[in-house]
Amino acid sequence: METEQQLLEAVKTGDRQAMRRLYERYKGYAMSTGLRYIPNGDDVEDMVQESFIKILTSIQRFSFQGEGSLKLWIGRTVANKAIDFLRMHERVSFTGTVPDMPDEEPELESIPPDVLNKMIAQLPAGCRLVLNLYVFEHCSHKEIAQRLGIRESSSSSQLSRAKVLLTRMMKDYIKRHGK
Amino acid sequence: MKQEKWAERLEQHLADYQRDPSHDLWEGIEAGLDKASKRQARIVMIRRWIVAAAFIGVVFGGAILFWNRQQGRDLSDQKRLTETSVKEKPTEDVTPINDSIVDKSEKTNSTPQTFIRPQTEKKLIAENHSDVIPEKQDIETEQQEAVIASDESSSEPSVVFEEHDNHLTRAFGRATKCHHSQLLAMNVYVSGGMNNQERRNGVLMSPPMLQEFAQTRGLDGEPVYLVGYEERQSHDLPISFGLTFSYPLTDRLSIGTGIVYTKLNSEFLNIIQDRQIRRQQTLHYVGIPLNVQFNLWRWQRLNVYLSGGGRADWNVKVKANVDGIDQKMNKDRMQWSVGGGLGVQYNILPQFGLYAEPGIRHYFDNGSNVSNFFKDKPTDFHLELGLRFNW
């Protein structure tokens, strides 16, 4: 199988076939990333298409840092596009109290990944953004605060809120499906 | 710690999840790529035209301005010469000439507009008396010297005459000594900081996590840094370009304002265990300064002065990208600063000089959460180099 570096070098020469191969290889990953931010599938497809145009037009600026770094970079680009989309199309609020945590915390591994992905997309926009940036983009609360123009404490409380809401959704799912 | 673990588990569980799009997106992507490459080619072409037009504009504009000013100056000097010659048209009689010289000396004492006259008079005297009584010439010379001496000893400090002065020297005398005649000065400069800034920070545990952690470990308000997490910041030297105008208030004091463009480049490297995320940030500011300049000392073409004042900078554009991909970022708030410096100016022409101004500037905290050079190094030494045009 073609390594990331080989693929990257071919894409950087302007080879359209190599670009197509890059798209085929990472389209599923890009879609799943987008679906964690944006609940509507059609919107996600539009956003993923825009993201690939952006990726392929700015790939000359990307510096390869080892196998896996290209995938990470693509994920980050899609996430950035998704954040822009969210800010443009949804009212993003970072207020709201943290509800009480259910007594029992279900095993998140017992929830199918596609369902869990959908659950994340159903969270309120503010805490959905913070959760995605913290968990999947590995941003610190300081960075999240700077990026979203909020306070560090707000980022922290939004993450706690996301965790509680997600736990409740998981509990409901387990109850409904008798696991 | 619990939240950290939970986040890790969540990420792990979804790490391999993928979902294909409902239809092939490649056609749209390819169309977008074609459009982008056409747009890029157009942008490159427009940029080249702008640069070429700006270069031609600066060269031709500067040449025309300089030529017009020189022409105007020569014409006004010629006009003054002609007026003086008409006024001082000599008569055949010697005595009236002597009278006119005496009159002149009186006039000279009473008015400061005597710049060209003694020379003209000398010429007129020389021309008209070459064929007249020779012994009178000595008397005239003595009288003339008396006129010059009276000029020098008069209260007007700004006029010095030389027998063989040329246009440039006269003009220098006027530009440097008759400072009041200068209406406006325009400064074009580039300014740079003297030290770039680098910093390495540990990453602190977030307050809610720290609370849980402290309870189990018996810590009391001590900061806890995450192992394997690091943040490195590096800020390039700030660079500014300015266009300012100054107006003389007194012989030594002038006040100035204008427009200053400043660019700040920063790089942030987040190290999360074995991963690195590189973020680059460019902030563009446009500022309005208000400065006061005090001339300390002048010697021939050299001028030493003190300058100081305040400046307000507005962040007009922000550009941030993570590993080469553009990212949206909030603009910085308005930035206030105060600064001062000691400048040395060397006048190549009366209307044009070069100056160097090392100085210090302090940037006040504007309360925003944008990390930049101003926040990391609020007090900075800088060097300003520029051109000064006098009118």
Count of residues for chain B?
A: 391
The Cα–Cα gap between B129 and B136 comes to 8
Q: Which residues of A touch B32 (CB under 8 A)?
A: 49-50, 53
Q: Which residues of B touch A61 (CB under 8 A)?
A: 321, 324
**Cβ–Cβ contacts within 10 Å for residue B40, how many?**
11
Q: Pick the most confident of B154-158, B313-317, B379-383.
A: B313-317
A58–B32 CB contact, under 8 Å: no
Structurally, at CATH architecture level, domain A108-177 sits in Orthogonal Bundle (1.10)
The answer to whether B335 touches B312, Cβ cutoff 8 Å, is yes
Write down the pLDDT at residue B294: 92
- Residue B47: pLDDT band with limits 50, 70, 90: confident
B231–A117 CB contact, under 8 Å: no
- What is the secondary structure of A35-56 as a DSSP string? HHH-S-HHHHHHHHHHHHHHHH
User: Can you say how many angstroms the Cα of residue B5 is from the centroid of all Cα atoms in its chain?
Assistant: 54
Write down the pLDDT at residue A1: 77
In whole numbers, what is the pLDDT of chain B averaged over residues?
72
* A53: nearest CB among B3, B29, B329: B29
- Which CATH number does A4-89 carry? 1.10.1740.10
Do residue B159 and residue B284 come from a single domain? no
B329–A57 CB contact, under 8 Å: no
pTM: 0.50
Using a CB–CB cutoff of 8 Å, tell me whether A73 touches chain B. Answer: yes
Structural domains in chain B (count): 2
Do residue B172 and residue B203 come from a single domain? no
Among B322, B320, B372, smallest CA distance to B199 is for B372
A28–B7 CB contact, under 8 Å: no
* B17: nearest CB among A32, A77, A134: A32
Do residue B203 and residue B317 come from a single domain? yes
Question: Mind listing the pLDDT tens digit for each residue in A108-137?
Answer: 888 999 999 999 999 998 999 999 999 998
The Cα–Cα gap between B195 and B192 comes to 9
* Closest chain A residue to the Cα of B320, Cα to Cα: A147
- What is the secondary structure of B218-268 as a DSSP string? T--S---EEEEEEEEEEEPPPEEEEEEEEEESSSSEEEEEEEEEEEEEEEE
The answer to whether A24 touches B21, Cβ cutoff 8 Å, is no
Among A106, A150, A110, smallest CA distance to A127 is for A150
Do residue B169 and residue B193 come from a single domain? no
Secondary structure, 3-state, B141-181: HHHHHHHHHHHHHCCCCCCCCCCCCCHHHHHHHHHHHCHHH
Do residue B160 and residue B212 come from a single domain? no
Last residue of a domain, one of B124, B146, B179: B179
The Cα–Cα gap between A173 and A153 comes to 30
Question: Mind listing the pLDDT tens digit for each residue in B181-197?
Answer: 455 677 777 777 666 66
Neighbour-count burial for B144-173, b at 16+ CB within 10 Å, e otherwise: beebbeebeeeebeebebeeeeeeeebbbb
* Closest chain B residue to the Cα of A44, Cα to Cα: B21
Residues 6+ apart with CB under 8 A from A152: A141, A142, A144, A145, B206, B207
Do residue B174 and residue B187 come from a single domain? no
Do residue B205 and residue B353 come from a single domain? yes
Using a CB–CB cutoff of 8 Å, tell me whether A79 touches chain B. Answer: no
A57–B33 CB contact, under 8 Å: yes
The Cα–Cα gap between B55 and B317 comes to 25
Complex prediction ipTM: 0.89
Interface test with A, best of B10, B11, B212, B213 (most A CBs within 10 A): B10
Using a CB–CB cutoff of 8 Å, tell me whether A53 touches chain B. Answer: yes
Interface test with A, best of B4, B17, B282 (most A CBs within 10 A): B17
- Residue B112: pLDDT band with limits 50, 70, 90: very low
Using a CB–CB cutoff of 8 Å, tell me whether A113 touches chain B. Answer: yes
Domains of chain A by residue range: 4-89, 108-177
The Cα–Cα gap between B310 and B283 comes to 20
Q: Strand, helix or coil at B272?
A: strand
Q: Domain for residue B52, yes or no?
A: no
Neighbour-count burial for A106-127, b at 16+ CB within 10 Å, e otherwise: bebeebebeebbebbbebbbbb
B327–A32 CB contact, under 8 Å: no
Among B199, B185, B215, B203, smallest CA distance to B343 is for B185
Count of residues for chain A?
A: 179
Q: Distance from B23 to chain A by nearest Cα, in Å?
A: 9
Do residue B370 and residue B223 come from a single domain? yes
Do residue B383 and residue B263 come from a single domain? yes
Do residue B365 and residue B308 come from a single domain? yes
Question: Mind listing the pLDDT tens digit for each residue in B326-368?
Answer: 777 888 889 999 999 999 998 888 778 888 999 999 999 888 8
Q: Domain for residue B127, yes or no?
A: yes
- Residue B210: pLDDT band with limits 50, 70, 90: low
Question: Mind listing the pLDDT tens digit for each residue in B14-39?
Answer: 988 989 999 889 999 999 998 888 88
Helix/strand number for chain B, H first, E second: 8, 11
A45–B276 CB contact, under 8 Å: no
B21–A31 CB contact, under 8 Å: yes
B203–A140 CB contact, under 8 Å: yes
* CATH number of the domain encompassing residue B231: 2.40.160.20
- Domain residues for the domain of B145 are 65-179
Write down the pLDDT at residue B201: 66
- Residue B202: pLDDT band with limits 50, 70, 90: low
The Cα–Cα gap between B356 and B304 comes to 10
Do residue B271 and residue B160 come from a single domain? no
The Cα–Cα gap between B183 and B389 comes to 11
A35–B19 CB contact, under 8 Å: yes
* A27: nearest CB among B16, B21, B321: B21
Last residue of a domain, one of B119, B147, B179: B179
Q: Which residues of B touch A73 (CB under 8 A)?
A: 323-325
Write down the pLDDT at residue B93: 45
Interface test with B, best of A8, A51, A58, A158 (most B CBs within 10 A): A58
> Is a pLDDT exceeding 60 seen at residue B318?
yes
The Cα–Cα gap between A96 and A127 comes to 9
